[in-house]
Amino acid sequence: MPALSTVLWVGAGVLFGLVLWKTGIGMLRSLTTPLPPPAPAGEMRKVNVRYRCGVCGLEIKMMLAPDEDPPPPRHCLEDMDIVAPRYD
């Protein structure tokens, strides 16, 4: 009859193997799921765009916009300049 410690070690190893197997299968399945469809027109989308006013130097960060390529806002009666990449 095997010792109790041997049985515990084998049980822990089998349990660890099952957890590792389930985690690996879950990660592989997450790579194969399709991307969600784009949001309907009119809904706000997450963006990360920074603008700077060329006249006074004011900087703003736009985080939500109705489309993924928002037009630059106006400040000091002129369009602001993009100072960061559109997509991070």
Q: pLDDT tens digits for 7-43?
A: 999 999 999 999 999 999 999 998 888 887 876 767 7
Q: What is the pLDDT, as a whole number, of residue 17?
A: 97
Number of domains, the chain: 2
51, 73 in Cβ contact below 8 A? yes
Q: What is the pLDDT, as a whole number, of residue 64?
A: 83
77, 53 in Cβ contact below 8 A? no
Residue 76 lies in a domain: yes
Summarize pLDDT for 33-83 with one digit per residue, the tens.
888 787 676 778 888 888 999 889 888 888 888 777 788 888 888 888 888
Residue 23 lies in a domain: yes
Residue 3 lies in a domain: yes
Q: Are residues 76 and 50 in the same domain?
A: yes
Q: What is the pLDDT, as a whole number, of residue 27?
A: 93
Q: Are residues 52 and 75 in the same domain?
A: yes
Residue 40 lies in a domain: no
CA distance 36 to 43: 15
Give residue 68's domain range. Answer: 45-82
Residue 13 lies in a domain: yes
